Amino acid sequence: MSGLLLDVAVQPSSVGPPVRAARYLSGGPQLPRADFQLRPVPSGFAPQEQEYQQALLLVVALAGLGLGLSLIFIAVYLIRFCCCRPPEPPGAKSPPPGGGCVTWSCIAALLVGCTGIGIGFYGNSETSDGVSQLSSALLHANHTLTAIDHLAHPCAQVLEMVERLDEAVRTELTTLEEVLTQRTELVAATRGARRQAEAVAQQLQGLAFWQGVPLSPVQVAEDVSFVEEYRWLAYVLLLLLELLVCLFTLLGLAKQSKWLVIVMTVMSLLVLVLSWGSMGLEAATAVGLSDFCSSPDTYILNLTREETGLGSDILNYYFLCNQAVSNPFQQRLTVSQRALANIHSQLQGLEREAVPQFPSAQKPLLSLEETLNVTEGNFHQLVALLHCRGLHKDYGAALRGLCEDALEGLLYLLLFSLLSAGALATALCSLPRAWALFPPRNPSASCSGSHLSEPFLHARLEPVPHLR
């Protein structure tokens, strides 16, 4: 005897390769957290709890502290440079020590800033990729859920077919009513088929578990995309602003244009503030996201249970989707399947018994069998839709988008903010010293279109011996 009843629990896992979530922040949750009174806070993701919110706000506040410290440092450095310069003998031959160094450190800082900008563009696009993966997974899940509801429920499009079927059944019943006295068992069989059909319909209606659930994945996806769109745009603007500041500062240094360098110094200050601000937001988001990603299942399960009011068995089935969790629709599906098979054998019996005597019964019977075949096909589609594979894969894709791509992008953005904060602070320290070394405005030298050039700082250099 070969393997019918044998195909049991063969497969260790039915859901594909596991989701590798949060591979980037394995050390993240171990960082100490504290609230405003600096009491330690557990690192589990609980955004609705006040002390967790305080812990995140404290991370933002740390960035504010960094901004304050760097501003104080810059101010002290510049004040010291302006007020405590050693008096310089007029017409001194040697340049002040480190005069060229100032310009070069400024250029190096701006180059580091440009590298940071490149990293920022990459991180921004990576985050955007991750979030769009999340929304497309949500849309796909919504598609599956809608399909389940539609398959399990009659909708307007099928009403015509319902009526045709009803009519077919009624015709057959009328035909059989005429021979009721002779063949009671045929009428009984027809009525049995109808009862089974009604039972199946009831069972199937119970499968549309998402019907009437107030949570719409489409809505969530749209909200996420909306926020992401503005976040993306804001970062692109910030990156472009910083790129322009870097390039125009370089241009100002190259053309030795004092006003351009002064304007760019002010802009650098603005961008420095923005960088520290974005760094605070990124750090808080990264900390929150890493907490979430270290054990997303529990949080998502609880949240979905609260939002949808669905039973734990259904949610566990879809969110965990392993052999340990049994299909909560198994019973209904099996009952429906058996009822469908019974209807089929009853219809076949009717065809065998009734058609030789009542040829007019053949047409409605054939039509009913055709419909039964199509229904069985749709039943298989329903089984496939209800199976946890599809929805769990969407869940995995959404998690991967959030916890791999988006988190990776966020860390790159954090690196960008760090680099640009450092670079801008260095530039802010050196720019005023650099422009102090510029020669006074000489229209004939610096405004001629043909040579942009005459690079930096030759003003204060000692005259060079002629080559030949």
Contacts to a second copy from residues 325-344, by CB under 8 A: 326-327, 330, 333-334, 337-338, 340-342, 344
Among 41, 67, 200, 321, which residue interacts with a second copy (rule: CB under 8 A)? 200
Looking at the Cβ atoms of 80 and 338, the one nearer to a second copy is 338
- 11 and 321 in contact (C-beta within 8 Å)? no
Residue 141: closest CA among 373, 393, 359, 346:
393
- Which range touches a second copy (CB under 8 A), out of 7-15, 55-63, 77-85, 262-270? 7-15
Q: Backbone phi, then psi, for 448, in 5-degree steps?
A: -75, 130
Judged by CB under 8 A, which stretch of 36-44, 58-66, 282-290, 459-467 contacts a second copy? 459-467
d(CA 191, CA 362): 17
Task: Please say which residue, 49 or 163, places its beta carbon nearer to a second copy.
Answer: 163
258 binds a second copy (CB under 8 A): no
With beta carbons less than 8 A apart as the criterion, state whether 220 and 137 touch.
Answer: no
Phi and psi, residue 153, nearest 5°:
-120, 140
Does residue 422 belong to the site contacting a second copy (CB under 8 A)? Answer: no
Site size for a second copy (CB under 8 A): 110
Shortest Cβ distance from residue 428 to a second copy (Å)?
19
Q: Judged by CB under 8 A, does residue 201 bind a second copy?
A: yes
Q: Quick one: which of 267, 211, 205, 223 has its CA closest to 242? A: 267
Q: Which of residues 42-71 bind a second copy (CB under 8 A)?
A: none
**What are 34's two structure tokens?**
């504290």
In the chain, count H helices and then E strands: 13, 0
CB of 183 to a second copy, least distance (A): 23
Looking only at residues 358 through 397 of this chain, which bind a second copy when binding is defined by CB under 8 A?
Answer: 368, 371-387, 389-390, 393
CA nearest 117: which of 5, 275, 258? 275
* Closer Cβ to a second copy, 15 or 269, answer by number: 15
Give the DSSP letter of residue 406.
I
Q: Is 104 in the site for a second copy (CB under 8 A)?
A: yes
Among the residue ranges 10-18, 39-47, 58-66, 274-282, the one whose residues contact a second copy (CB under 8 A): 10-18
CB nearer to a second copy: give 306 or 462: 462
Tell whether residue 431 is a contact of a second copy (CB under 8 A): no
Instruction: Build a one-symbol-per-residue string for 209-248: x at contacts with a second copy by CB under 8 A, - elsewhere.
Output: ----------------------------------------
**Which one of 24, 45, 52, 121 is in contact with a second copy (CB under 8 A)?**
121
Q: How far is the CB of 197 from a second copy (least distance, A)?
A: 4
Q: Which is nearer to a second copy, 205 or 312 (CB)?
A: 205
Question: Phi and psi of 34, rounded to 5°?
Answer: -150, 155
Name the phi and psi angles at 230, rounded to 5: -70, -35
In the complex, what is the shortest distance from the CB of residue 385 to a second copy, in angstroms, rounded to a whole number? Answer: 7
Q: For the purposes of burial, counting CB atoms within 10 Å of the CB of 184, is it exposed (0-12), middle (13-18) or buried (19 or more)?
A: exposed
Q: With CB under 8 A as the contact rule, which of the stretches 77-85, 302-310, 356-364, 446-454 interacts with a second copy?
A: 446-454
Applying the rule CB under 8 A, the residues between 160 and 189 that interact with a second copy are 161-162, 165-166, 169
Q: How far is the CB of 184 from a second copy (least distance, A)?
A: 22
Binding of residue 205 to a second copy (CB under 8 A): yes
Query: Which residues does 145 contact at the CB level (< 8 Å), separation at least 6?
Result: 210, 217, 391
Alpha-helical runs (H) found in 159-211: 159-178, 184-207
Among the residue ranges 52-60, 64-72, 139-147, 274-282, the one whose residues contact a second copy (CB under 8 A): 139-147
352 near a second copy, rule: CB under 8 A: no
Closer residue to a second copy in complex, CB, 212/465: 465
Helix (H) or strand (E) run with residue 357 in it: helix 330-357
Chain-centroid distance of CA 104 in Å reads 42
Shortest reach from residue 424's CB to a second copy, in Å: 19
Report the nearest approach of a second copy to the CB of residue 127 (Å).
14
Name residues whose C-beta falls within 8 Å of residue 457's C-beta, 6 or more positions apart in sequence: 99, 100, 103, 256, 434, 437
Among 72, 75, 79, 158, binds a second copy (CB under 8 A): 158
Q: Nearest-CA neighbor of 151 among 207, 197, 202, 199?
A: 207
d(CA 235, CA 247): 18
C-alpha span between 134 and 217 (Å, rounded): 11
Residue 361: CB minimum distance to a second copy, A: 17
